[in-house]
Amino acid sequence: MITSLPVPDPVAERIDVWLWAVRLFKTRSLAAGACRKGQVKIAGQAVKPSRLVRPGDRIEIEQPFLTVVLEMKAPLKHRVGAKLVGDFCMDHTPTEAIALANEMRAAVRAAPRRDPGMGRPTKKERRELDQLEGGGYSKPE
C-alpha cells in the first residue's frame, strides 16, 4: 500500500520563518522563541513556530508597551531588504499606540539609574522611582 505524502501549500509559510524574513526579529530562533512564549498570535490565539500563515492572516506581536498588528500579503522564505518589507506585510498598528509606546520607552530611558555595585537606593532615590512608576509613596496599613 502506497501512502501519499502531504503536499506543501505554496501560498503558506511557517510563522517563525515569515517573521524573520520580514525583519521583525533579528534571528529565526528569536522569532520561534517569541511564538513559544505566546507573544505571537493569529486570530487571538497563541501559535507555535511551525504554524502556517497564509495571505490575509492578521498577526499580533506583543512587544514591551505595544502590540504590533500586521497582515500578511505574501509568503516568503528568504529575508528581504528593508525597502521591500511593505510588499509582504501591511501594518495595522494604531498610530496612537505607537506614540504612547514611544513615550513610555522615553520615560524608561530617562529614569534614574544606579551603577552596578552601588548598593541599595537611598530614600530620596526610592521616592523618585516610586513617582516614576506612578504610585508615589503610600504607608502600609
Domains of the chain: 13-98 (3.10.290.10)
Q: Which of 12-16, 27-31, 49-53, 130-134 has the lowest mean pLDDT?
A: 130-134
pLDDT of residue 129: 78
**Tens digits of residue pLDDT in 1-43:** 666 666 567 788 999 999 999 999 999 999 999 999 999 999 9
**Tens digits of residue pLDDT in 74-92:** 998 899 999 999 999 999 9
pLDDT of residue 1: 60
pTM flag (> 0.85): no
Residue 70: strand pairing partners = 59, 91
Task: List, in order, residues 6 or more apart from 46 with CB less than 8 Å away.
Answer: 35, 38, 40
pLDDT of residue 127: 86
CA-to-CA dists, residue 66 to 1, 7, 50, 52, 105, angstroms: 53, 37, 24, 24, 10
- Amino acid residing at 89: C
Rounded Cα distance, 114 and 20, in Å: 35
Cell matching residue 62: 506583543
Order across the sheet with 58-63: list the strands: 45-46, 40-42, 58-63, 66-72, 89-91
